[in-house]
Amino acid sequence: MENNSRVENILDRIVEARLESIAHRKRVLPEVALKIAVGKIGPPGDFGAALLSDGFNIIAELKKASPSRGTIRAEYRPATLAPALESAGAAAFSVVTEEDFFFGSLADLKSVRAVVHVPVLRKDFIIDPWQVWEARAAGADSFLLIAAILTNGDLRELLELGRSLRMEPLVEVHSHKELDRALSTGAHIIGVNNRDLRNFEVRLQTSLDLVDAIPEDCIAVSESGLRTHEDLVLLRKAGFDAFLIGEQLMTEPDPCVPLRGLIGTVGADRMSTKL
């Protein structure tokens, strides 16, 4: 019973840990210093545009561990993995920066941003505008917002801040209710997470259940549990523009091999999925 309770409350535990971490980091690095740093770097890349090319647009996720599986990749060198994955066809990257449960860091994101040419998203549990400034100062082109941990007011505020920095966020939902909330606050890039973050159950059907409710003028991203080229063909035909894939890549010695398999061959088979 304790194990079930621990799993069910993991999202709350992560958010609580983030609140403590942010409070400490704000004292060390005030927002004004982050704004100065942002003013010294160039404009971000267009994350949304990277997800609208023909074919299978994959956001390759770089992460060392997860709460459900523990360490996923013992030899984790993001700056080495990223250029190879970009060459293999990754349209963009998601770099997990949460320290306590995923063993990530902003240093990982900075190292990836320095060696790739496609946009890079900061994947974290963002609950404070300070984190958005922190993300941009580190070179992120976009960032994740999780509807389940934010009020409508928080979502709207963080969306507007991101847009003021030319960083269109990826807003993640898991249900019709969360999707309605995201759309009501003006979200443009919608990610449907097939993994329920409260119990880690994965259902590809979640994406299929929600895709028809995502407006045509939004960018639709299916996340988690995508394992085969056939999964992507199914979801592409259903209306998804892009796919966020992490563990399927990170668990392989050479993640370029499964990435190429997921994308499939360029030719008739690939073109047919756009019809």
**Any idea which of 9-18, 102-111, 128-137, 245-254 has the lowest mean pLDDT?**
9-18
Catalytic one among 57, 63, 64, 168? Answer: 63
Q: For the domain that residue 246 is a member of, what is the CATH number?
A: 3.20.20.70
Tokens of 259: 């990435």
State yes or no: is 224 an active-site residue: yes
Amino acid occupying residue 140: A
pLDDT tens digits along 210-232: 999 999 999 999 999 999 999 99
Mention every residue, 6+ apart, whose C-beta is less than 8 A from residue 67: 10, 14, 101, 102, 200
Catalytic one among 94, 111, 194, 224? Answer: 224
- In whole numbers, what is the pLDDT of the chain averaged over residues? 92
State yes or no: is 193 an active-site residue: yes
pLDDT tens digits along 236-262: 999 999 999 999 999 999 999 999 999
Helix (H, G, I), strand (E, B) or coil at 60: strand
Domain that includes residue 43, residue range: 2-272
Percent of all residues in the chain with a pLDDT value above 70, rounded to a whole number:
92
Total structural domains in the chain?
Answer: 1
**Any idea which of 10-14, 77-81, 227-231 has the lowest mean pLDDT?**
10-14
User: What long-range pairs does 174-179 form, CB within 8 A, spacing at least 24?
Assistant: 174/147, 174/148, 174/206, 175/210, 176/209, 176/210, 176/213, 178/147, 178/148, 179/147, 179/210, 179/213, 179/214
Helix (H, G, I), strand (E, B) or coil at 184: helix
pLDDT tens digits along 163-186: 999 999 999 999 999 999 999 999
- DSSP output for 200-223: --B-THHHHHHGGGS-TTSEEEEE
State yes or no: is 111 an active-site residue: no
The confidence band for 200, taking pLDDT boundaries of 50, 70 and 90, is: confident
